[in-house]
């Protein structure tokens, strides 16, 4: 966090330069989305997880734009997703759905998304 001035006005803005997430043990894309909100809350002190995570009816397609909004507000520089081999095709809706999810994520976030995993991640 930096407190300063810009153009003679007070400027207080938090920037999240990078964020590392771990894929959830259950291998679901929804769980990955919820991990995003939880991680942001822990680092920045916000309350996004209670807002978005408590509503079980919110789908991955509904959570992804909210994640992109949070990333934009915080000026996220790069998103690192670790343990990508945990993503399970059955839990996530199949390989095509996972590929579509990551494509949408890259397009909506407009920041680099780095996927990290073991050799088992080749199937993902």
Q: Which residues contact 104 (CB under 8 A, 6 or more apart)?
A: 64
pLDDT band at 92 (very low <50, low <70, confident <90, very high): low
Tens-digit pLDDT profile for residues 45-84: 999 999 998 877 888 999 999 999 999 999 999 999 998 8
pLDDT band at 91 (very low <50, low <70, confident <90, very high): low
Q: Is the pLDDT of residue 2 over 70?
A: no
CA separation for the pair 124, 75 (Å, rounded) = 28
The full set of domain ranges for the chain reads 16-123
3-class state of residue 4 by DSSP: strand
CA separation for the pair 43, 9 (Å, rounded) = 26
- Chosen CATH of 16-123 out of 1.10.10.10, 3.40.50.880, 3.40.50.300, 1.10.260.40: 3.40.50.300
Q: Is the pLDDT of residue 90 over 70?
A: no
- Tell me how many degrees the CA angle 75-35-57 measures, rounded to the nearest 5: 105
Closest to 101 measured CA to CA, from 72, 61, 70: 61
Q: Is the pLDDT of residue 32 over 50?
A: yes
pTM: 0.83
pLDDT on residue 117: 87
Whole-number percent of the chain with pLDDT over 70? 90
Helix/strand/coil percentages in the chain, nearest 5: 50, 20, 30
């Amino acid at each position: 966090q930096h407190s300063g001035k810009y153009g003679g006005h007070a400027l207080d803005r938090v920037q999240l330069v990078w964020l590392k997430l771990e894929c959830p043990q259950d291998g679901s894309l929804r769980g990955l989305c919820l991990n995003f909100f939880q991680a942001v809350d822990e680092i920045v002190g916000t309350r996004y997880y209670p807002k978005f995570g408590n509503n079980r009816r919110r789908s991955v397609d509904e959570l992804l734009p909210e994640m992109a909004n949070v990333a934009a507000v915080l000026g996220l520089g790069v998103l690192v997703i670790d343990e990508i081999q945990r993503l399970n095709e059955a839990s996530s809706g199949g390989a095509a759905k996972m590929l579509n999810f990551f494509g949408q994520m890259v397009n909506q976030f407009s920041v680099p998304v780095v996927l990290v995993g073991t050799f088992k991640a080749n199937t993902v």
